Amino acid sequence: MRKMNIHIKGDERILGDSDFVEKVLSQASEQMERRYRLKAEGWTLTKIAERVAEIFGIEKDQVFVAGKQPDRVRARSVLAYWAIRDLGLTTTEVGKYLDLSKSAVSRAANRGQKLIVDQFLSLKG
């Protein structure tokens, strides 16, 4: 391939053809840029909790309190998703704030993703 002057984009951590590798690396780069931009704008877990409380019409402190009330469960799920995906926190870190195990945080984040998509929620109001 080198003799034919064909160059392929590759990364030993990603299996797939050149187009797939470029797509994966591009998405990873976009996600990192978003995280840095949000952090530069002052977004923290507390600020996300304020936004989630505003969306669901509850007090900010109630987002961090365990319970089975539907609004609180939805709020905590959305918080978990945005904290993991947009701030880059780990499930362990989020679990400490929400008093949940890593697997419970993962399930909550999955619920949060579905809520965000279904209800067209946005981190920035």
Both 61 and 81 in one domain: the answer is: yes
Both 54 and 109 in one domain: the answer is: yes
73-87 tens-digit pLDDT: 999 999 999 999 999
Both 71 and 96 in one domain: the answer is: yes
Distance CA 63, CA 79 (A): 8
Distance CA 92, CA 94 (A): 6
Both 49 and 99 in one domain: the answer is: yes
Is there a contact between 99 and 82 (Cβ–Cβ < 8 Å)?
no
CATH code of residue 62: 1.10.1750.10
Contacts of 34 (CB under 8 A, 6+ apart): 86
Number of domains the chain contains: 2
18-51 tens-digit pLDDT: 677 677 766 666 777 777 787 888 899 999 999 9
The pTM score is: 0.75
Is there a contact between 38 and 85 (Cβ–Cβ < 8 Å)?
no
